[in-house]
Structure 1
Amino acid sequence: MSTTVPTPAPPFDDGDPGAQRAFERIPPQDLDAEQSVLGGMLLSKDAIDDVVEVLEGEDFYRPAHGIVFNAILKLHGQDEPADPITVAAALTKSGEIGRIGGSPYLHTLVQSVPTAANAYHYAEIVHDRARLRRLVEAGTRITQMAYAADREVDEIADAAGAELHNAVQVREDSATVRVGDRYGDYIDRLEHLQKNGAAKGVPTGMTDLDALTNGLQPGQLIIVAARPAMGKSTLALDFARACAIKHSRPAAIFSLEMGEAELLNRLTSAEARVGLHHLTSGDPTPEDWQRIAKAAPRIADAPLYLDVTANTTVMEIKAKCRRLQQRGGLDLVVVDYLQLMTSGRKTESRQVEVSDMSRQLKLLAKELKIPVVVLSQLNRGPEQRSDKKPVLSDLRESGSIEQDADVVILLHREDAYDKTSVRAGEADLIVAKHRNGPTCTITAAALLHYSMFVDMANT
């Protein structure tokens, strides 16, 4: 005797027939737009140049259309004509002509397009439908992960955030270009760099440091480490100010140590050149108020974001960064500081946990293609030596921090140990690790009464 197993209802089924139809609906696509795109490309070389900026083969819903698209691009890249005859010959040679329905289908594509002049518009429609399909696919994977529940909840939430980010991210400019089409722009950028001395990466505001690193590069994990009260938070805030205020590039600061009022005091002190003690005491002078009034518009208009959530986890920071990048872009992240964070997971030791967090922050930098600056404490090693300068081995709970980092900057001030030092007011930025360049020690002026570091030449 057989038993009939009822068909399971779709997720979130509330008995509404409309919901049932929506669940059973085919993925978002527009076959007419796909045909028009390909027809335009087969008719016009200019249409190919327009479309290639928007689409790639996997954006087509119908596999045969992706095959035709790639064949057109291959011919175009070889500077050969791409029309129904040449594309049919190329597909016949590769053994794919049968997969698209034969050479007559190529002529059908040409006949289906109203005008090749609208190819870019048709491409945008196809691209939008592809993004919607990726959202559907991401939603399906997220649902499967949630139902499986075979990992920690925070880990599943992080993976879900990554799936969603990958689904909605905007495609970069096409890599299939002729060198000659871009070389003029390259020469213009090179002349601009020579004339203005601008860093290719995110500027730090420190001339010598930018010259060494060429700016903070996308995908880099930059560790700024020091003993307490050396000024590492101040240095990181300088990086964020240079990015957001001086260059109008979005930056985010996640501070687990300072509150919003303290961060704003330091930001105002540095940008307006007002004594920090006047702000913390709530007694700025009339001259201070004038400086604050001049600096206020720069600070208020800057794309700088502050987050002072206590006991935050790496996964929460990653989720917030993804949202910021999706909403308005994000060029720099500062985390202050590593040892105050938690991973949100159970680990066998604190060293393993810190190592896991540094690895996750490195993955965040690679995923969002931005530099991530992370502050870290040093152990007591420098204080136990006659030469107080820190070294890489002084990284506290180091684990994989040194391994994950692309750049490690150890901050040192002699006057922190010897008030009578002849180098009072100076700071050493010891670039102890630089994956893509040389290491050296850069001297800066420590204007801590203004909560800032500046180039020695600007003092």
Structure 2
Amino acid sequence: MVLDQAPPSNSEAETAVLASILVDPEALSRVAAFLQPEHFFENRHQAMYRAALALDERREPINPITLAHELAREDKLEEAGGHAYLSQIVADLPTTVGVEYSARIVERDAVYRLLIEAAGTIARWGYEAGPNLPETLARSEALLLSLRGGERLRDFVSLRDLLESFLGPPDEDGDEGLQEPARTGFMELDQLLVGLKKSDLVVLAARPSVGKSALALAMSRNLAIGQGGKVALFSLEMSAEQVATRLVSAEAEVPSQRLPYGQHTETEEGRISRAIGVLSRAEIYIDDTPGGTVAEIRAKARRLAHEVGLDLIVVDHMQLVHGGAGSGLDVNRVAEMSYISRSLKELARELEIPVLALSQMSRAVEARQPHVPLLSDLRESGSIEQDADIVIFIYREDMYVRQEDWEDMHPESPEGYQRGLAQIIVAKHRNGPVGTVNVRFRRDLAKFEDLLVYTEDAPPPAAALPGVEPDWNGAGADTPPSYLRNDDPS
């Protein structure tokens, strides 16, 4: 019998983690993505780790003095053993090299304790012998599966590794990162923005199915392939495999729904192989952990920046990020979004790289004419528009106006219908002009392209033809909003 045994725990591993955090500035960033305060068995160790996280949230140094002060501020110093205990665990630490290994021991024992608790719960359900056996079995399975799901957070997966099953990994080129602004790969947009500058928070917003994820992936691909940049993509909505599939689809110009089934012509097979070869050179690192917190994103981004260097961080999307304990437990969603946007801006400044954060928009844009997005449409916006250095909207008139309706409204120019045309609207630009850029959107591939790039399958949209002016408002309004006119200096 094991009922009289103490729950699994390892005090030496717990103190090794805490001592490493006190003496190594990089230690916390290596474990914070997966190690939670609740994983520690001893209450005093939980208090110490929470205090360390709080200091890290405020960008304050972590050492025995600052940690003791934080514990005292929370009236936890005596519970944690006082100054003497902090000094003792530091003195007993042989090395900080194995902090991740020690942290995994702490996490593993915590899962074992949860397993014991779950077993007790399942045993109680069994003794109750309820009338609905299938429901009891389902609840038991769900309880155990929840432990497996929380056992370990997923981490970054390189796009190169995801494509390795098709082609071998390419040779390392040893690039040391970008010395110039990160370019989006869209010529007119790069001319307007002069690239994505270091420390900028760039918010890309659109209604569902307009293409914000597709545009973010296109920018990531263009930076990684065109400039040799390194991109960290936090995909909270799509799995890493789905991201890879969409990238291959856009690169090979083969619809993504056909890729998994091998329904390709010989020509398409050749394009797919070439696309995989091109994308295998892209240093895009994808983390598809669902429900990530700001602290996890920051810790993982710091670690990846330290290990390989980073030139762009993409978060898809902000509304799926959780604020975590640092945002407070009793705040509303607007306040939480303000905390998230502020934290992403701080991350951009800390790592000195641009952060591209995707955002949803409210339904208000659907209820008015014209449907052109406004800054006030940012969903649960909080302080997003204040924190952002650049706010970009995507507007596709063909989502709101059918060709038949357009021809009825414009009998004098029926050829002006904007099928396949998208407007990339720079609605806010803290350090430069606002304006609008026209690009082509290929719906079957979920792919954005410069209008100057034409193929047999994608001729220029009508609005790109000489003499045809786009109808910005789609409802016959006299003038577009100010930020749709490049002559607005604000």
Letter in 1 for 2:444: H
Task: Mark the CA change 1:153 to 1:235 in structure 2 (over 3 Å): closer, same or farther.
Answer: farther
Is the Cα contact below 8 Å between 1:249 and 1:330 reproduced in 2? yes
- Residue 448 of structure 1 aligns with which residue? 443
Among 233, 243, 246, the alignment partner of 1:263 is 243
State the shift of 1:293 in Å. Answer: 1.1
Is the Cα contact below 8 Å between 1:277 and 1:449 reproduced in 2? no
Is the Cα contact below 8 Å between 1:219 and 1:370 reproduced in 2? yes
- Residue 318 of structure 1 aligns with which residue? 298
Q: Residues 431-446 of structure 1: matches in 2 within 5 Å?
A: 431-446=426-441
CA distance in 2, matches of 1:383, 1:271: 32
Tell me the SS of whatever aligns to 1:237: helix
State the shift of 1:305 in Å. Answer: 0.6
Among 363, 383, 393, the alignment partner of 2:366 is 383
CA distance in 2, matches of 1:138, 1:361: 21
State the shift of 1:393 in Å. Answer: 0.5
Q: Which moved more, 1:228-237 or 1:347-356?
A: 347-356
Task: Mark the CA change 1:199 to 1:413 in structure 2 (over 3 Å): closer, same or farther.
Answer: farther
Unaligned runs of 5+ in 1: 1-10, 24-131, 165-197
State the shift of 1:249 in Å. Answer: 1.0
CA distance in 2, matches of 1:297, 1:205: 19
CA deviations over 1:28-74 (Å, ceiling 9, x no partner): xxxxxxxxxxxxxxxxxxxxxxxxxxxxxxxxxxxxxxxxxxxxxxx
CA distance in 2, matches of 1:140, 1:307: 20
Q: Residues 396-411 of structure 1: matches in 2 within 5 Å?
A: 396-411=379-394
- Residue 156 of structure 1 aligns with which residue? 54
CA distance in 2, matches of 1:140, 1:269: 39
Count the aligned residue pairs.
Answer: 299
Tell me the SS of whatever aligns to 1:449: coil
Is the Cα contact below 8 Å between 2:55 and 2:61 reproduced in 1? no
Structure with greater proportional helix content: 1
Q: Residues 407-418 of structure 1: matches in 2 within 5 Å?
A: 407-418=390-401
CA distance in 1, matches of 2:263, 2:60: 47
Task: Mark the CA change 1:138 to 1:210 in structure 2 (over 3 Å): closer, same or farther.
Answer: same
- Residue 393 of structure 1 aligns with which residue? 376
CA deviations over 1:413-437 (Å, ceiling 9, x no partner): 1111123150110111110000000
Tell me the SS of whatever aligns to 2:362: coil
Task: Mark the CA change 1:352 to 1:361 in structure 2 (over 3 Å): closer, same or farther.
Answer: same
Is the Cα contact below 8 Å between 1:199 and 1:211 reproduced in 2? no
Is the Cα contact below 8 Å between 1:158 and 1:319 reproduced in 2? no
Unaligned runs of 5+ in 2: 1-10, 30-36, 38-43, 63-177, 407-416, 455-490
CA deviations over 1:3-49 (Å, ceiling 9, x no partner): xxxxxxxx9799xxxx9xxx9xxxxxxxxxxxxxxxxxxxxxxxxxx
- Residue 92 of structure 1 aligns with which residue? none
Larger radius of gyration, structure 1 or 2? Answer: 1
CA deviations over 1:368-416 (Å, ceiling 9, x no partner): 0000000000101111112011100100101110000000001111111
Identity of aligned residues (%): 42
What RMSD in Å do the two structures reach over aligned CA positions?
Answer: 3.3
Per the normalisation by structure 1, the TM-score is 0.59
Q: Residues 17-416 of structure 1: matches in 2 within 5 Å?
A: 136=23, 138=25, 149=47, 152=50, 155-156=53-54, 158-159=56-57, 200-279=180-259, 281-345=261-325, 346-416=329-399
Task: Mark the CA change 1:311 to 1:210 in structure 2 (over 3 Å): closer, same or farther.
Answer: same
- Residue 81 of structure 1 aligns with which residue? none
Tell me the SS of whatever aligns to 2:452: helix
Among 424, 427, 442, the alignment partner of 1:429 is 424
CA distance in 2, matches of 1:363, 1:152: 21
State the shift of 1:348 in Å. Answer: 1.5
Task: Mark the CA change 1:348 to 1:152 in structure 2 (over 3 Å): closer, same or farther.
Answer: farther
